[in-house]
Chains A and B, each alone.
Chain A
Amino acid sequence: MTLTRFRRPLHTLLYTLLLGLPVFAHAADWNIDALMTSLAQVKPGRATFTEKKTISLLDRPVESSGELSYSPPDRLEKRTLKPKPEAMLVEGGVLTFQRGQQKHTVQLAEYPELTGFIDSIRGTLAGDRKTLERSFRLKLEGPAERWLLTLTPTNPKMATSVHLIRIAGLRDDVRSIEVIQTDGDRSLMNIERMSAR
């Protein structure tokens, strides 16, 4: 976190130099609504991800990687390739897990904690402020080129397990999602958008 903060001015400088963009020109207009508007314009896309989970029960973090695909407004698929292939698909109110031969379909409505968690990601990707604010308090920091959106659960049930969710990105491009749980376990997922094919 501290590292990120130090890095931010560096990045800004880099962008200014390389791209010659007037980075601070729209600073005054940059707010949650602007972020949501730009996210909402994102077309269906695919990305690769690497995820690192730090779990107190385990001696070392567990890493996994794979592909993400998202089609607005509510279809999100996470396909893990390593270490074990598995897939998770959220579409509307239905969540499907697939591990090996087993396939599970659960209805999000039956798992409110899970719903909040999924809504945080889906809501951000869709730029759906209303959905996000149903379960979280939002705080936006940083400029459009290096924004950081912090979601703090307001739903008490969810607040017992999730401490906060931090989503970082560059304009309409979500770069990382970090989930910090109340027991200190955390996961950080870095996302790399795949170039349009």
Chain B
Amino acid sequence: MTGQNNRKRTLALTFWLVGMAICALIVSRTTFTTDLSAFLPQSPTKEQGVLLDQLRDGIVARLILTGVEGADAPTRAAISKGMAERLRADPAFVTVNNGEPVNSARDQAFLFGNRYLLSSAVTPERFTVEGMHAALSDSIALLASPAGLMVKGLLPRDPTGELMGLLEGMAGTRRPHLQNGAWASRDGARALLLAQTRATGADIDAQQHAMRQIRASFDAVRVSLGAAATSATLVMTGPGVFAVNSRDTIEREVTRLSIISTLIIVALLLMVYRSFLALALGLMPVISGALVGVVAVSLGFGMVHGITLGFGTTLIGEAVDYSIYLFMQSRAAGPGRAGSSETEASDWLRDFWPTIRLGVLTSIVGFACLLLSSFPGLAQLGLYSIAGLVSAALVTRFVLPHLLPADFRIRDVSAIGARIARLAHYAPLLRWPLALITLLAVLVLIQHRGTLLNPELSSLSPVSLADQATDARLRADIGAPDVRYMVVVSAADSEAALQSAERIAAQLTPLVSQGTLVAFESPSRYLPSIATQRTRQASLPGDDLPQRLEAASAGLPIRATVLQPFLADVAAAKIRAPLQRADMDKTSMALAVDSLLFQRGASWTAVLPLTGPPTGLDAAPIRAALVAAGQPNALFVDLKAESNKLYSGYLREAALLSLGGLAGILVLLMFALRSPMRVARVLLPLVAVVITLVAIFALCGHRMTILHLVGLLLVVAVGSNYALFFSNGDEAGAISAQTLTSLAFANIATVAGFGLLGFSQVPVLQAIGITVGPGAVMALIFAASFGGARSVKAG
């Protein structure tokens, strides 16, 4: 008998150890990520694809906006210049802009040297005698104007004013103010610097490195400037900065929460068990569950998100329940019998395991619906929970009983049990008040039905409101366009993409003069398609230009001889090779083109950002323009609307899945309990808890996100255990004081685990915490009041 048990024990232990070793091996090779795009969909619509692409790889995602505050204006400008000098030499950055004219000479040389290929004013009409006469008159008038000083030198080579035309076209972009030779905010309180990283915004390690470099350059320059600069401070913002900060926050929180909740639960278990052995055994299912959960997610998704890990700490709160039930209820299972712990354990398996098994199954059914979510984050949470709970339960069932030493005894908690039983005795008194509360809650829900859910994706963002405000401020200062609207068109090669962009631009231009659009950008402005460049070359006159010019200058105070350089420039422009992207290297225009024209896989994408009026952009005329441009597959994307649509899609889906989960639980209970009455008795308190909880959120003005829904599902999962025990009391005779005590301790452990999350700064974790923490307590009270009454009395 003992030998057989020893064999069983060895087998179970070996099994467990081998399993854990394999899990540890897989975990050690797992990629952990905090990239929030993991919480974005995998199979998006085309518009959502654009959104995600911009979030991950877009130029906007590579910008780090930096502000220098404090000290005085000349010092801030000096810091900005010093930082820029250092950062420009740093390979981590593609460009660093702070208003210093580092590129301007090169930019102007580029524009001037390529003016006949770049200017949309270059048409055959422009170079007729009449066209040139008009252009020359214009240039002469400009010469006489206050701006004449600046254009005089250009006249012999550019008498038709193509450069001025080009500059006018590009002047639409707003630029920050200059103060002491460096960009400054409108109110002058802050020096500004804009850095573009070489790495994508999604490469958080590289973003973190870039941030460190910026901080290091700031520190170094500040020290070198001495006392004047001591009060200067640095602020940074941008998508990359957000990603880095989010990761820091998530990592910090996950670590902190895991440690604290572990400590609390360990303290609680020690207090109850008064035995380190019992503690170690009690934590076994928890640790196994957490480990298997990570492994399952790692194998299923290829990587594990930090938020999933944070969520994992909550699992401690639920998985620990199983061992609490085992240890405490084992005593109850065999009361009066002086048997060994083993027989007690097998008694427990007989008396209580079916109830717990049903509870675990209920949880699994509830979480299984999350697996179906197209929100990868939710699917991860679902898989983690299922794998974790199943293994915790299996370890409790098949491994733990064999490991209990023969003389295993936890502290006698019957005194506490008696007290709890007395309390539970009064629980039914709460039945009617609770029913009333639930009824009121239903009324609240009906009243607030439109505003229960938060439709903004940003509600999930781990970026603090203060950081968001800093971002908005710096963005406004620097005039960085809040890229919200864009037209996106893809083609097989860059030439085709540019041609499409040109056709679209031609249709958008009238919308600007009509006021529908304030402005728009196009890569073709900086790099026209080869076809367009050839057309422009063809519109330049050939050998007859001298004659035409002679005729055009008749009556004007300019001699054609002065304009010899013009003739030479036009002749050269007419036969030169078309402008390529490589010709733009080291100019500001290269940055513009790269951000607006890029390769994705096999195809090229051109992006035309649109600036709408403050009242918002009407989509209809834009879509009409796309059709008129003969670009039916060009997309008009409103990034904000798209991200909210994406999120509300998730939200709807999560709501449906939660209902599905509930239905699944219902079916399961019907199958297991085979009595609609008993099913109702189990589910009624849980439904009442959910309704009341949602009503409390509504009354507090706290709008629920997708994670609150997950939290509600957890409440049902955890609460189903309580409800099953209480309703089970009917058949198994009485719910004993021991069982009650185990439920109370399990509840405290759960509340400790989840409640802590409520203090998290990560909205995703906080949402779950504030839902499950109070929800678990309410579930116990509701279950005791609705289900437990008779059974306690009967005992």
Chain A residues near B (Cβ < 8 Å): 51, 53, 55, 57-60, 62-64, 78, 80, 83-84, 86, 88, 93, 97, 99, 102, 104, 107, 109-111, 113-114, 117, 161, 185
Counting chain A CB atoms within 10 Å of each CB, which of B143, B149, B168, B177 scores highest? B149
Give the CA-CA distance A113 to B178 in the complex, in Å.
16
Contacts of B180 in A (CB 8 A): 109
Contacts of B22 in A (CB 8 A): none
CB–CB B168/A55 < 8 A:
no
- CB-based nearest B residue for A55: B143
Contacts of B394 in A (CB 8 A): none
CB–CB B143/A58 < 8 A:
yes
Give the CA-CA distance A43 to B405 in the complex, in Å.
102
Selected from A51, A59, A62, the residue in CB contact (under 8 A) with B143 is A62
CB–CB A57/B143 < 8 A:
yes
Selected from B141, B156, B171, B559, the residue in CB contact (under 8 A) with A104 is B171
CB distance from A70 to the nearest CB of B (A): 15
Contacts of B155 in A (CB 8 A): 57
Contacts of B179 in A (CB 8 A): 109
Give the CA-CA distance A62 to B142 in the complex, in Å.
11
Within 8 A of A (CB), among B119-164: 140-150, 152, 155-156
CB–CB B557/A60 < 8 A:
yes
Contacts of A97 in B (CB 8 A): 145-147
CB–CB A59/B558 < 8 A:
yes
Contacts of B149 in A (CB 8 A): 113-114, 117, 161
Give the CA-CA distance A109 to B183 in the complex, in Å.
10
Contacts of A110 in B (CB 8 A): 99, 101, 178
Given known pairs A57-B562, A104-B168, the reply for A185 and B141 (CB within 8 Å) is no
CB distance from B179 to the nearest CB of A (A): 8
CB–CB B181/A109 < 8 A:
yes
CB–CB A64/B144 < 8 A:
yes
Contacts of B99 in A (CB 8 A): 110
CB–CB A59/B146 < 8 A:
no
CB–CB A59/B142 < 8 A:
no
- CB-based nearest A residue for B146: A88
Contacts of B156 in A (CB 8 A): 57
CB distance from B548 to the nearest CB of A (A): 19
Contacts of B171 in A (CB 8 A): 104
Contacts of A80 in B (CB 8 A): 145
CB–CB B152/A185 < 8 A:
yes
Contacts of B145 in A (CB 8 A): 64, 80, 84, 86, 88, 97, 99
Given A88-B146, A111-B150, A185-B152; 10 other pairs, CB 8 A cutoff: A57-B143, A57-B152, A57-B156, A58-B557, A63-B144, A64-B145, A110-B178, A114-B150, A117-B149, A161-B149
Give the CA-CA distance A66 to B149 in the complex, in Å.
19
- CB-based nearest A residue for B141: A84
Contacts of B178 in A (CB 8 A): 93, 107, 109-110
Contacts of B562 in A (CB 8 A): 57
Give the CA-CA distance A84 to B178 in the complex, in Å.
31
Contacts of B175 in A (CB 8 A): 107
Contacts of A53 in B (CB 8 A): 143-144, 148
Contacts of A102 in B (CB 8 A): 168
CB distance from A90 to the nearest CB of B (A): 9
CB distance from B515 to the nearest CB of A (A): 14
CB–CB A62/B144 < 8 A:
yes
CB–CB B148/A99 < 8 A:
no
Counting chain B CB atoms within 10 Å of each CB, which of A93, A110, A113 scores highest? A110
- CB-based nearest B residue for A88: B146
Give the CA-CA distance A146 to B752 in the complex, in Å.
91
Give the CA-CA distance A44 to B507 in the complex, in Å.
47
CB–CB A57/B558 < 8 A:
yes
Give the CA-CA distance A161 to B101 in the complex, in Å.
20
Give the CA-CA distance A51 to B147 in the complex, in Å.
14
Contacts of A99 in B (CB 8 A): 142, 145, 147
Give the CA-CA distance A84 to B148 in the complex, in Å.
14
Contacts of B101 in A (CB 8 A): 110
Give the CA-CA distance A59 to B555 in the complex, in Å.
11
Give the CA-CA distance A99 to B141 in the complex, in Å.
10
Selected from B147, B150, B152, B559, the residue in CB contact (under 8 A) with A55 is B152
CB–CB A62/B557 < 8 A:
yes
Within 8 A of A (CB), among B169-203: 171, 175, 177-181
Give the CA-CA distance A104 to B178 in the complex, in Å.
16
Q: List 28 A-B contacts (CB under 8 A).
A: A53-B143, A55-B143, A55-B148, A55-B152, A57-B143, A57-B155, A57-B558, A57-B562, A58-B143, A59-B557, A60-B557, A62-B140, A62-B557, A64-B145, A78-B146, A84-B141, A97-B146, A97-B147, A104-B168, A104-B171, A109-B178, A109-B179, A109-B180, A109-B181, A110-B99, A113-B149, A161-B149, A185-B152
Within 8 A of A (CB), among B574-601: none
Contacts of B152 in A (CB 8 A): 55, 57, 185
CB–CB B141/A83 < 8 A:
yes
CB distance from A82 to the nearest CB of B (A): 10
Contacts of A58 in B (CB 8 A): 140, 143, 557-558
Give the CA-CA distance A73 to B410 in the complex, in Å.
89
Contacts of B150 in A (CB 8 A): 111, 114
Within 8 A of A (CB), among B49-100: 99
Give the CA-CA distance A80 to B141 in the complex, in Å.
11
CB distance from A106 to the nearest CB of B (A): 9
Contacts of A51 in B (CB 8 A): 144
Give the CA-CA distance A64 to B147 in the complex, in Å.
14
- CB-based nearest A residue for B176: A107
CB distance from A85 to the nearest CB of B (A): 10
Give the CA-CA distance A104 to B173 in the complex, in Å.
11
Contacts of A62 in B (CB 8 A): 140, 143-144, 557
Contacts of A111 in B (CB 8 A): 150
Give the CA-CA distance A185 to B152 in the complex, in Å.
10
Give the CA-CA distance A93 to B180 in the complex, in Å.
11
Give the CA-CA distance A63 to B147 in the complex, in Å.
15
CB-CB nearest 10 A-B residue pairs: A62-B144, A109-B178, A59-B557, A88-B146, A58-B557, A60-B557, A84-B141, A107-B178, A57-B562, A64-B144
Give the CA-CA distance A111 to B142 in the complex, in Å.
18
CB distance from B135 to the nearest CB of A (A): 14
- CB-based nearest B residue for A104: B171
- CB-based nearest A residue for B101: A110
Give the CA-CA distance A80 to B145 in the complex, in Å.
8
Within 8 A of A (CB), among B269-290: none
CB distance from B588 to the nearest CB of A (A): 14
CB–CB A59/B141 < 8 A:
no
Contacts of A113 in B (CB 8 A): 149
Contacts of B146 in A (CB 8 A): 78, 88, 97
Give the CA-CA distance A57 to B142 in the complex, in Å.
13
Give the CA-CA distance A147 to B487 in the complex, in Å.
63
Contacts of A117 in B (CB 8 A): 149
- CB-based nearest A residue for B182: A109
Give the CA-CA distance A104 to B145 in the complex, in Å.
13
Given known pairs A64-B144, A113-B149, A114-B150, the reply for A59 and B181 (CB within 8 Å) is no
Give the CA-CA distance A120 to B145 in the complex, in Å.
17
Contacts of A78 in B (CB 8 A): 146
Given known pairs A55-B143, A102-B168, A114-B150, the reply for A107 and B557 (CB within 8 Å) is no
CB–CB A59/B559 < 8 A:
yes
CB distance from B706 to the nearest CB of A (A): 46
Counting chain B CB atoms within 10 Å of each CB, which of A58, A60, A63 scores highest? A58
Give the CA-CA distance A114 to B557 in the complex, in Å.
26
Give the CA-CA distance A139 to B140 in the complex, in Å.
34
Contacts of B144 in A (CB 8 A): 51, 53, 62-64, 83
- CB-based nearest A residue for B143: A55
CB distance from A118 to the nearest CB of B (A): 9
- CB-based nearest B residue for A183: B152
Give the CA-CA distance A109 to B156 in the complex, in Å.
28
Give the CA-CA distance A57 to B140 in the complex, in Å.
10
- CB-based nearest A residue for B159: A57
Give the CA-CA distance A86 to B559 in the complex, in Å.
25
Give the CA-CA distance A161 to B150 in the complex, in Å.
10
